Amino acid sequence: MQPGTTNKTHLTFWIQGACQAGLILLVALVPAVLSGWMHPRRPSWSQDQSRVPEVEWTTIQQLHSRVLLIDARGSAEFEREHIPGALWLGTRPGDEEMVAVARAWQPGTRLVVYCDNPRCDAAQAGALRLERELGLKDVAVLKGGWSAWTEAQKLHR
């Protein structure tokens, strides 16, 4: 220890540094939490959340029943490209896209919702919306989403 410094001065320096570091972490944490909470494709925060079963594209092709494909990606992605015959789900309850899905659905039709890739949670959220808002029961999620479908199309060329 240098002459003229005390343990108290040294301790004060460390306390001030810890307070400043804590303040910086708090300032960074607030926007991070807000963006995670408000993002349209926010991650699932709880493990006990109900999950809709997943189905492979090859299984969908082998189904003998009617299948209605629902795109849960953003509107720009849907407008640029989507699986032929798919309907866009929309983002808000009661919007015209949800009404179009309800009109296209018929008894005995299986609804398969997809989004970008296996890490995208929008398909699960969209499938749960269809179950809750429209009361539909035969709903599944395309395993692998859009990327799985595009890969399957490459194999069939």
Burial of 53 (0-12, 13-18, 19+ CB in 10 A): exposed
Residues 23 and 93 in one domain: no
pLDDT at 47 over 60: no
Cα Rg of the chain, angstroms: 24
Q: Do 70 and 147 belong together in one domain? A: yes
Confidence grade of residue 72 (pLDDT, cut at 50, 70, 90)? very high
Q: Are residues 141 and 89 in the same domain?
A: yes
- Residue numbers of the domain that contains 128: 54-155
Same domain? 141 vs 69: yes
Q: Do 85 and 144 share a domain, yes or no?
A: yes
pLDDT tens per residue, range 85-128 = 999 988 776 677 777 888 888 888 899 999 988 788 899 999 99
Q: Could you tell me which residues come within 8 angstroms of residue 96 by beta carbon, excluding any fewer than 6 positions away?
A: 90
Residue 106: inside a domain, yes or no? yes
pTM: 0.66
Query: Domain of 105: which CATH number?
Result: 3.40.250.10
Asked whether residue 135 is domain-assigned, the answer is yes
58 and 32 assigned to the same domain: no
pLDDT tens per residue across span 2-45: 555 567 777 788 888 888 888 898 888 888 777 776 666 665 55
For the segment 76-93, the average pLDDT, to the nearest whole number, is: 87
Domain membership flag for residue 47: no
Q: Is residue 44 part of a domain?
A: no
